[in-house]
Amino acid sequence: MSAEWFAHYKPIIFAVVWGLVLALAGAWATDIGEWYKSLQQPPWKPPDWVFGPMWTVIFILAGVAFVMAYHRAPNQETIRMLVILFIVNGLFNFIWSVLYFRMQRPDWALIEAVGLWLSVLAIVLATRSYSPISSLLMLPYLAWVSVAMLLNWTTIQLNGPFGRG
């Protein structure tokens, strides 16, 4: 493997590996057990089967956005910031699932979701000047997190308070 080959494919390898790590971690954290099934849900909530394909599409779009932005980044500092933004976003995504499903704390998850939403927005804003298509590819993620936050809030309203055991 030449250094040139690695330089070209490094962002693709990162995007695929990071996407798989997040998908597996998210699958582990998302426990659709009795507790979740017992929650009252709003009538507008998408069916459970929609969430897996939706997150798959979002992760693919985010991976493509990362690779495009990486290759269009004007300098190493921009690349470093891009990597940090995507790692932070992935951690927010994973932690939300842990708080909501594993710890059964939708109230805490909603607070954390603000950070998730802001991390997606940060990627949109950070990439728009040098990779506008990357920025646009992140908009479905931003929209989906917005829907998830509304669903999270509505779940709290229908079922709260949480943490009393």
pLDDT in tens, 13-53: 888 888 888 888 888 888 788 999 999 999 999 999 999 89
30 belongs to a structural domain: yes
Alpha carbon distance 16, 158 (integer Å): 38
Lowest mean pLDDT among 17-26, 51-60, 78-87: 17-26
Sign (positive or negative) of CA dihedral 155, 158, 164, 165: negative
Strand locations in 38-163, DSSP E?
none
Is 90 exceeded by the pLDDT of residue 65?
Answer: yes
Contact call for residues 144 and 60 (beta carbons, < 8 A): no
Q: What percent of the chain has pLDDT over 70?
A: 98
Amino acid residing at 162: F
Number of domains in the chain: 1
What residues make up the domain containing 91? Answer: 3-37+48-159
Contact call for residues 66 and 134 (beta carbons, < 8 A): yes
165 belongs to a structural domain: no
Q: What is the CATH number of the domain that holds 60?
A: 1.20.1260.100
Residue 142: what pLDDT?
A: 99
Give the model's confidence band at 147: pLDDT under 50 very low, under 70 low, under 90 confident, else very high.
very high
Is 80 exceeded by the pLDDT of residue 5?
Answer: no
116 belongs to a structural domain: yes
Those residues with Cβ within 8 angstroms of residue 3's Cβ, 6 or more apart along the chain or in another chain:
none
Contact call for residues 33 and 105 (beta carbons, < 8 A): no
Residue 150: what pLDDT?
A: 98
43 belongs to a structural domain: no
Is 80 exceeded by the pLDDT of residue 3?
Answer: no
149 belongs to a structural domain: yes
Mean pLDDT of the chain: 93
First to last CA, the chain: 56
Alpha carbon distance 103, 12 (integer Å): 33
42 belongs to a structural domain: no
73 belongs to a structural domain: yes
164 belongs to a structural domain: no
